[in-house]
C-alpha cells in the first residue's frame, strides 16, 4: 500500500488484519484443492456461452426491443398497423357531423370490432416475456 | 483435456489463463496453487471456518474457471478470485442459514513469546474477527482486500465495480469501527 496509515492505531489494525485467517491459509491442503478442481472441470467441461447469452447482450437486446415497441406504440401512423375497417373509422370520424343515422351506426359498429392479432401482438412488451421466451426471440433474430 | 506442455511456474496469470483456455490443464492447476492460500486466508478472515474453507476454496476456483471467459483483465486475477470467493461464502451462508463460526486458532498469534502476551493478542484478534464479521459486506471486503491482501484502492475499485473514492470511504468506515477492538 502506498499511502500507509498515519494513525498508529490504524497501523496496528492493519498489522493485525494482515494476520487474520492465517490458520485457514496454513491448514489448507492445496494439492487436494487442485485435484478437486480439476476433477470437477473434467466432469463438467467449461462450455463457452454464446455471446448473446451474456447479461450485457441480453440487456442491450431487451432495450432495443423495448425501443422498437415504444416506437411502434407512440410513433403515430408510421408505426401503426390498422385494418381496413379501422382506417374507414379514422377517415369517417373526422366528418362525423355530416353522417346520416345509418352511416353513423356503421361507424359505431366498426369501433366495437375487436382489433386484429397483429395489433394486439404489438401491445405486448418484452417485460412480459419469460427468460426462455426472450432467449428464443434472440435466437430467432440471430437466424 | 490433454495437457500440451507443463505450465511454467514463472508464467503470468494472464499466460496461465490463456493456456488453460487453450486446453492446458496444468495451467489451471498452477493458478490454483498460486492463489489458493491467499483465498483461504481471505475466506477464513471473512467468517468461513474449519473444513468449510477447503470446500469454499474449491468451489470458488470452479466458479472462477467456469466464468473465465467473462474475465477481461479489468483487475488482477487474484482480486477477481477473492470477490468470487466472497460471493461463494455469501451463498454458502444462505444455504446453511447458520451463524458464522470462526475457529479461534485462526486468530491466535504465532507460537512462542510470553504466554500472557499471546493470550491478550489472541483475545484482541478474536474480537477483531467477530467485529469484522458484523461489518457490511462491502466494508469488510474492501478492508480485507487492502489491509490483509495489500491491494491499492484503484485495484479494489476495479474488482468491486466501484470508484477508488468509494472504496476509500468504505475502508475508513471499517477502520473506524474496527479500531474499537484494539482498546
- How many domains would you assign to chain B? 2
Mean pLDDT, to the nearest integer, of B46-61?
Answer: 84
d(CA A29, CA A13): 29
pLDDT per position as a tens digit, A36-86: 999 999 988 776 665 666 666 677 788 888 888 888 777 655 545 555 555
Higher pLDDT, B91 or A118: B91
Higher pLDDT, A100 or B115: A100
Choose, out of A18, A23, A38, the residue to mutate when testing the contact with B (most B CBs < 10 Å).
A23
Q: Are residues B18 and B35 in the same domain?
A: yes
Mean pLDDT, to the nearest integer, of A94-119?
Answer: 65
Query: Domain boundary residue among B38, B71, B106?
Result: B106
Q: Are residues B21 and B100 in the same domain?
A: yes
Q: Is the pLDDT of residue B99 over 70?
A: no
Q: Is the pLDDT of residue B60 over 80?
A: yes
d(CA A70, CA B159): 36
- The predicted pLDDT at position A140 comes to 75
Confidence of residue B166 (pLDDT cuts 50, 70, 90): very high
Q: Residue for cell digits 468491486?
A: B160
**Pair B148, A17: CB distance under 8 Å:** yes
Range of the domain at B56: 8-106
d(CA A27, CA A80): 69
Instruction: For residue A46, list chain B residues with Cβ-Cβ distance below 8 A.
Output: 65-66, 68
d(CA A1, CA B151): 7
d(CA A66, CA A106): 36
Instruction: For residue A49, list chain B residues with Cβ-Cβ distance below 8 A.
Output: 69
Query: Domain boundary residue among B89, B106, B123?
Result: B106
Phi-psi region of B101 (alpha: psi -120 to 50; beta: other; left: phi over 0): beta
Any idea what the CATH number is for the domain that residue B132 is in? 1.10.10.10
Least confident of A38-52, A57-71, A91-105, B127-141: A91-105
H or E stretch including B106? none
ipTM of the complex: 0.76
Query: Domain boundary residue among B106, B138, B167?
Result: B106
d(CA B160, CA B62): 20
Task: Tell if the pTM clears 0.90, that is, is over it.
Answer: no
List, in order, residues 6 or more apart from B153 with CB less than 8 Å away: B146, B164, B167, B168, B171
Q: Are residues B132 and B90 in the same domain?
A: no
The answer to the question of residue B1 being in a domain is no
Q: Is the pLDDT of residue B103 over 80?
A: no
The answer to the question of residue B2 being in a domain is no
Amino acid at each position: 500500500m502506498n499511502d500507509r496509515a498515519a494513525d498508529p492505531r490504524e497501523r496496528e489494525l492493519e498489522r493485525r488484519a494482515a494476520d487474520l485467517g492465517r490458520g485457514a491459509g496454513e491448514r489448507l491442503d492445496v494439492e487436494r484443492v487442485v485435484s478437486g478442481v480439476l476433477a470437477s472441470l473434467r466432469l463438467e467441461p467449461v462450455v463457452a456461452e454464446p455471446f448473446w447469452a451474456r447479461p450485457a447482450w441480453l440487456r442491450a437486446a431487451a432495450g432495443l426491443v423495448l425501443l422498437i415497441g415504444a416506437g411502434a406504440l407512440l410513433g403515430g401512423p408510421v408505426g401503426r398497423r390498422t385494418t381496413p375497417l379501422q382506417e374507414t373509422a379514422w377517415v369517417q370520424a373526422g366528418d362525423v357531423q355530416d353522417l346520416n343515422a345509418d352511416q353513423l351506426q356503421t361507424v359505431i359498429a366498426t369501433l366495437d370490432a375487436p382489433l386484429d392479432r397483429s395489433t394486439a401482438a404489438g401491445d405486448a412488451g418484452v417485460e412480459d416475456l419469460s427468460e426462455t421466451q426472450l432467449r428464443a426471440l434472440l435466437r430467432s433474430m440471430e437466424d | 483435456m490433454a495437457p500440451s506442455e507443463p505450465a511454467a511456474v514463472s508464467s503470468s496469470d494472464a499466460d496461465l489463463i490463456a493456456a488453460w483456455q487453450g486446453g492446458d490443464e496444468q495451467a489451471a492447476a498452477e493458478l490454483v496453487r498460486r492463489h489458493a492460500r491467499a483465498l483461504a486466508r481471505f475466506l477464513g478472515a471473512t467468517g468461513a471456518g474449519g473444513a468449510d474453507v477447503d470446500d469454499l476454496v474449491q468451489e470458488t476456483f470452479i466458479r472462477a474457471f467456469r466464468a473465465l471467459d467473462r474475465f477481461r483483465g479489468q483487475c488482477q486475477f487474484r482480486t477477481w478470485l477473492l470477490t468470487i470467493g466472497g460471493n461463494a461464502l455469501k451463498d454458502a451462508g444462505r444455504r446453511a442459514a447458520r451463524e458464522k463460526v470462526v475457529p479461534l486458532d485462526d486468530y491466535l498469534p504465532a507460537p512462542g513469546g510470553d504466554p500472557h502476551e499471546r493470550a491478550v493478542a489472541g483475545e484482541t484478534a478474536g474480537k477483531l474477527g467477530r467485529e469484522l464479521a458484523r461489518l457490511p459486506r462491502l466494508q469488510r471486503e474492501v478492508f480485507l482486500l487492502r489491509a490483509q491482501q495489500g491491494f491499492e484502492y484503484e485495484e479494489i475499485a476495479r474488482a468491486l465495480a466501484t470508484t477508488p473514492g468509494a472504496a476509500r470511504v468504505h475502508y475508513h468506515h471499517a477502520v473506524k469501527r474496527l479500531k474499537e477492538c484494539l482498546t
